[in-house]
Amino acid sequence: MEIEKKYGPAATIAICKLNAGETLVAEGGAFMAMQGPVDVTTTTRQKGGGGIIKGLKRIFSGESFFLNHFTAKNISEVWLGTPLPGDIMVHELQGDRLVIAGGGFVACESNVQIDLQWQGLKSIFSGEGIFWIKASGQGKVIINSFGFIYPIDVDGEYIVDTGHIVAFEETLNFEISKASKSWIDAFLSGEGFICRFKGKGRVWCQSHNPKSYGQELTPHLKPKQK
Amino acid sequence: MMEINTSPVTQIERLGTESFRLLKVLLAPGQKLIVEPGAMASMEAQLQVETLINQGFFQATLLKFLGGESFFINYFLNPDQKPRHVFLSQSTPGEIIERDLKEEKLYVQPGALIARTSQVQVQVVWAGIASWIGGEGLFRLELSGSGRIWYGCYGAMIEKEVLGDYIVDSGHLLSYPPEMKLSLKLAGSLFSSLLTREGIVLKLSGHGKIQLQTRSIKGLAQWLNPRFWG
């Protein structure tokens, strides 16, 4: 499957070119347009596993309950968009594993397994999802971001604000922690939670934090008037 | 205790585009930078972060409640022998402005400040009734001293040299120098002002360079509000 990105980095879409028999699995809501003979089925899971529980778990990861399966009967195109202004990255898995943070998953080829990974109690405090998505297998994964994406090759230790994580290679260990020396400082600093990556591997960060944008906006929003 | 290198931050890489700007700041050994809470996107683990009260207790209280800034401020310090980087961003999509102050003052929209070198002072000063009615608040954020500052802009930035009067919506005013006087003006007649929600606009008078931002968070909220609850 060939995937072309267009209109980046502020309004990126992914144009997926499918050959006959190929299937693209996309998050509900990502679909924008398509051309050609395509069968679409909607499920709460990937083929061969899960079920409703997986769908429910996906909600906790900040993703949608449903997955759409686009199967091409002949050469076709499926166009995917994203809710926030920002960029898209396409990562090809070759047996390696990728962890995708809060709401970043858009779509993948059908030979990619997506599963939910419980991030442990520590992730509850991070303000991000309790589950992150783990992608493994063979094939391309499409991931979105708020703003543009910059990769960092970690060798040793590196710190990313939890709201700025897009995805990272599973070879990295991480702990949810604080940027300051003491916990009191951490609570007062307003930096919130950070993710301390350790080991060797790549982490992709987004230039902007969707939560900060929301916090900027909410004081100006009005409650429902009866 | 290592000696603090107070030379201005020299190596800054501007990444992204004006719709999503990100700064990569390289701190030399011993160098420190004052950063607003929440501005750090990612950084090398060797950097130290220290949280202090912003400009002393009294000013910090004013800054927090009247200046739209934070009570606490973070010092990013590089105690390492090698230069280390930190990425800085802002909450809204848009441009980041870098500016050198040379013994001068500048008024910046509350909440816009991202980082500054330690010789720049921030305080909340009385802005006058006109500013308050115009939606800008009774107090304004005053930057002074000599050093480098970075502040965020929602959307793109427009710089305008004003000679005489210039009228601007308060949500779009990013910065202006102390030579400019603020006063109020109705956008149209009283009736059309109420009707169009432009209401009261700010009038800047004098001679100086002002900066505008092409988007306004209040504008976005005004557009969103009627759409939420059908």
Contact A216 B218 (CB under 8 A): no
In this complex, which of A160, A221, A224 lies closest to B42 when CB atoms are compared?
A: A160
What is the interface pTM, i.e. ipTM, of the complex? 0.87
Q: Identify the pLDDT of residue A15.
A: 97
Contact A185 B44 (CB under 8 A): no
- Residue A129 or A12, more confident: A12
Smallest Cα distance from A106 to chain B, Å: 21
Q: Identify the pLDDT of residue B125.
A: 78
In a domain, A122, yes or no: yes
Buried b (16+ CB within 10 A) or exposed e, A44-58: bbbeeebeeebbebb
- Residue A10 or A156, more confident: A156
In this complex, which of B37, B41, B89 lies closest to A190 when CB atoms are compared?
A: B37
CB pairs under 8 A between A and B: 128
Q: Identify the pLDDT of residue B34.
A: 92
- Residue A191 or B168, more confident: B168
Whether residue A155 lies within 8 A of chain B, CB to CB, comes out as: no
A-chain residue closest to B226, CA distance: A222
Whether residue A149 lies within 8 A of chain B, CB to CB, comes out as: no
Range of the domain at A22: 2-218
The CATH architecture that domain B11-156 belongs to is: 4-Layer Sandwich (3.60)
Q: Which chain B positions have a beta carbon within 8 Å of A224's beta carbon?
A: 228-229
**Confidence class for position B124, pLDDT limits 50, 70, 90:** confident
What digits encode the pLDDT tens for the residues A68-94? 999 999 999 999 998 889 999 999 999
In a domain, A226, yes or no: no
Question: Which residue, among B82, B88, B91, would best test binding to A if mutated, counting the most A CBs under 10 Å from its CB?
Answer: B91
Contact B229 A224 (CB under 8 A): yes
Lowest mean pLDDT across A37-46, A197-206, B81-90, B160-169: A37-46
Smallest Cα distance from B105 to chain A, Å: 26
Tokens (6 digits) for A60: 């906790």
**Confidence class for position B136, pLDDT limits 50, 70, 90:** low
- A151 and A143 Cβ atoms separated by less than 8 Å: no
Whether residue A217 lies within 8 A of chain B, CB to CB, comes out as: yes
Q: Identify the pLDDT of residue B1.
A: 41
- Residue B198 or B157, more confident: B157
- A5 and A88 Cβ atoms separated by less than 8 Å: yes
**Confidence class for position B222, pLDDT limits 50, 70, 90:** confident
Buried b (16+ CB within 10 A) or exposed e, A108-139: bbbebbbbbbebeeebeebebbbbbbebbbeb
CATH number at residue A13: 3.60.160.10
Tokens (6 digits) for B87: 């990425």
Whether residue A226 lies within 8 A of chain B, CB to CB, comes out as: no
Smallest Cα distance from A111 to chain B, Å: 32
Does residue A119 register a pLDDT over 70? no
| pTM (whole model) above 0.80 | yes
Does residue B79 register a pLDDT over 60? yes
Contact B42 A159 (CB under 8 A): yes
Q: Identify the pLDDT of residue A224.
A: 73
Does residue B2 register a pLDDT over 50? no
Q: Which helix (H) or strand (E) holds B64?
A: helix B57-65
C-alpha B136/C-alpha B85 separation (Å) is 35
Whether residue B227 lies within 8 A of chain A, CB to CB, comes out as: no
**Confidence class for position A106, pLDDT limits 50, 70, 90:** very high
Q: Break chain B into its structural domains and give their ranges.
A: 11-156, 158-223
In a domain, A23, yes or no: yes
- The most confident of A192-196, B106-110, B181-185, by mean pLDDT: B106-110
Q: Structurally, how many domains does chain A consist of?
A: 1
Residue A191: strand, helix, or coil: coil
Whether residue B225 lies within 8 A of chain A, CB to CB, comes out as: yes
B-chain residue closest to A219, CA distance: B221
In a domain, A223, yes or no: no
In a domain, A206, yes or no: yes
Whether residue B223 lies within 8 A of chain A, CB to CB, comes out as: no
